[in-house]
Structure 1
Amino acid sequence: MSSKPTTWFRNFMGIGYRYHDVYMNVFPLFPNRMAAYKLWKKTIDWWPDVDIKISFVEEGDDYWFILYGGSKYSGDNTGFVKKVPISENYKRFKEGYEKKAMLRFGVYKENTDPKKKDKDGVMKKFELEVLKKTKSVYNISFIQASELDPGSVEWQCIQANPQ
């Protein structure tokens, strides 16, 4: 882990989930492929899998997605935080993630190509691309906000990033 304080990145759209792989996937969503790729290379690419932590801190009808890992090699200590509404996809992930998940980045953008249609021949309004780079995450926790310890990374992150 880096000794630098964590800089919290929250400029992403939300969280996506994919269930059809051996292990469930969780991915922050970005509007731009190149920006997402560069951010991955700058940060997560350097994180050892065993040091990556994802916390889901539930607070009423919302949850905080908190992702951090850090690297002693890159000199960068960026973490990711976003408060989003609890969804059916989140509940499904929580029930079936099997103590391991694959971390990826996703690109969610408006479709501008009239040739791209769904199976019924209707033009897709949006399209999702899940980038190929992955990291295995073994440290995944689901916590109630009321149970957070004031000294925890999660509590400090939420206090520093009110949304």
Structure 2
Amino acid sequence: MSSKPITWFKDFLGVGYRYHDVYMNVFPLFAEKMPAFKLWKKTIDWWPDDKIKLAFVEEGDDYWFILYGGSEYKGDNTGFVKKVPVSENYSRFKAGFEKKATLRFGIYKELPKPKVERDGSVKKFDLEVLKRSKYVYDINFVKIADLAPDSVEWKCIQENRQ
């Protein structure tokens, strides 16, 4: 892992989950495809799968999504952080992720014209999960009270509180 301090990127919409693949998917959600693609190429593309760390730090009805890995080769040490509300999808991911998950980026945007589905429901948003992926083996779920004050996660949360 890079010895350079982590620069926390928090300018993404939230976190999405997908369950249909062999391993569950987790993905930060972005509004635009090209900036997300460029960010992936600059950061995560260079992270060795076995060095990626994903932490879900629970705090009341919310959790902190903290993702980092870094690369000695690239010299970039960007991490991702976002405080989001606990959801049914998060709880489902937590219960069934099987010690390994697929990391991807997702694009979530409002459709210019709402689309009527076959069942009569109206679809106002579209989700595209990008093809590039990494496997994450180091996944932790922890309560904020159980974090060590010298941990990367504790420092990240203190640095990124509004």
Name the TM-score, length of structure 1 as normaliser: 0.96
Aligned to 1:100: 100
Runs of 4+ in 1 over 2 A off after TM superposition: 116-124
Letter in 2 for 1:141: N
Aligned to 1:57: 57
Letter in 1 for 2:140: S
CA RMSD of aligned residues (A): 1.1
In the alignment, structure 1 residue 133 sits paired with structure 2 residue 132: yes
Show CA shifts across 1:86-136 (max 9, x none). 00000000000000000000000011156x542335552100000000000
In the alignment, structure 1 residue 157 sits paired with structure 2 residue 160: no
Structure 1 stretches lacking a partner, 5+ long = none
Name the TM-score, length of structure 2 as normaliser: 0.96
Aligned to 1:91: 91
Q: How many residues align?
A: 162
Cα 1:94–1:162 shift into 2, 3 Å: same
Deviation of the 1:75 alpha carbon: 1.1
Distance 2:117 2:99 in 1: 34
Aligned to 2:67: 67
CA contact (8 A) 2:55 2:141 kept: yes
Q: Please state whether the residue corresponding to 1:16 is helix, strand or coil.
A: strand
Percent identity reads 72
Structure 2 stretches lacking a partner, 5+ long = none
Flag the structure with higher strand content: 2
Letter in 1 for 2:147: L
CA contact (8 A) 2:102 2:136 kept: yes
